[in-house]
Chains A and B, each alone.
Chain A
Amino acid sequence: MTSTTKWLVRVLGCAAIVTCGMVASAGAQDARLEGRVPEAVRTEVDVIVEGARAAGLPTEALIDRALEGASKGADGTRIVAAVRRLRDELGMARDAMGSASTAAELVAGASALRAGASADHLNLLRSQRADEPLTVAAAVLADLVAVGVPVDTAVTAVLALAEGANDTEFIAFRRNVERDIALGASPVAALGVRLDLAAEVFTTDRAPPPSPRKP
């Protein structure tokens, strides 16, 4: 083999290695972020997303959060901080709700944690609804806090409903509370009235009835 041939083989080998590296790198990045966030932000978000993926956490919500920030014109620092914070909350939710939880459950659990619920609350919710999806129950908890119900009261209400209510009933409960608040009731009073009504329905229609409302 002549020196020219050896040189050519080495150049082609290096080019192949570089090409493979570029292809692998491009595959790790999410194409939806391209052109939506600055390159430096994209790199940081990709690192967070890859770490979450390696840890077995859902990554779609992280990309969505970055895209939301980009659409609303947030600066890169805030976008990266928001994505990182959500990654941490998803991890906490997974630890509390179990590794078998779905992505939707973990996203809702992260919302509940953001609303002020504790990991113990989520763990208790999981144990009470072992055979039911937790997505709506955890989301309703966060939604009740968002409309002004104190965290402890919202947690008590959701845990009381958890054993008997299905998703549709959870959503109806939340809507009724929101409607009562919009009509002028205080959040705590609205929640109490609706919880009493739900308890009556469960007591008469099915067993076991929910736990009594926390005073």
Chain B
Amino acid sequence: MTEHRDQFDRAVELLKEPVELRADLEQRIMAEVASGPRPKVWTGRFWRAGNWVRRGRPVSVSPLGGLALAAGIVGVLFVGRALPRPEAPAPAPLAEAQGATVAQFVILQPTAASVSLVGDFNDWNSSSTPMRRAGSSGIWIVTVPLDPGRYRYAFLVDGATWVSDPSSPPALDDEFGPPSSVVTIGGS
């Protein structure tokens, strides 16, 4: 224990001894600093352009010019509000999203090359709702979201033959010749 204490005291004495610095120390340090990489500073035309932008300058506007400018700003604001906004990705109508029932339409047409569902819900457009063949069975299927109500419809086979739905009630008022069916979607 006494031996460790002596070693400690000698170390303290050594640290207390004065250290002599070399006379050219300061010059050598400054030479090292000067030889290192310099910080980047904005110079040239970009700096001048920045100064041009920041510098204030007087602007004179006649009363008529000021009025025209104010009217222009107001006009832009109003036109901007009046213009139609870009359409969002077509969301389903709220009523349809909340109250629609997905109705499935099925018909057996083994020899048909194409079958379309045509009715009140698609403006009687024969190309709006093509049906898909389910395997090789000859069954054609399509599903359509329908709000509560009563809809007339028919199937158009191969773009030429109107066929009513044998699984739904027939429309009583077929005033146009080819038969239609009706489907009723309830709400309660």
Interface set of A (CB-CB < 8 Å, partner B):
32, 61, 64, 67-74, 78-79, 81-82, 85, 103-104, 107-108, 111, 114-115, 132-133, 135-136, 139-140, 142-143, 145-147, 166-168, 170-171, 174, 178
Contact = CB atoms under 8 A, between A and B. Distances in A.
Given A111-B150, A133-B148, A146-B170, A78 B176 contact: yes
Interface of B: 118, 120, 123-126, 147-150, 152, 162, 169-173, 175-178, 180, 182, 184, 186-188
Contacts of B182: 111, 139, 142-143, 146
Q: Chain A: interface secondary structure?
A: helix
A104 B152 CA distance: 12
B175 A78 contact: yes
A147 B177 CA distance: 19
B178 A72 contact: yes
Contact of B184 (A32, A132, A140): A140
Contact of B187 (A111, A140, A167): A167
12 contacts: A32-B123, A71-B124, A103-B149, A107-B149, A108-B184, A133-B187, A133-B188, A136-B184, A139-B184, A142-B182, A143-B182, A168-B186
Contact of B176 (A72, A114, A167): A72
B184 A68 contact: no
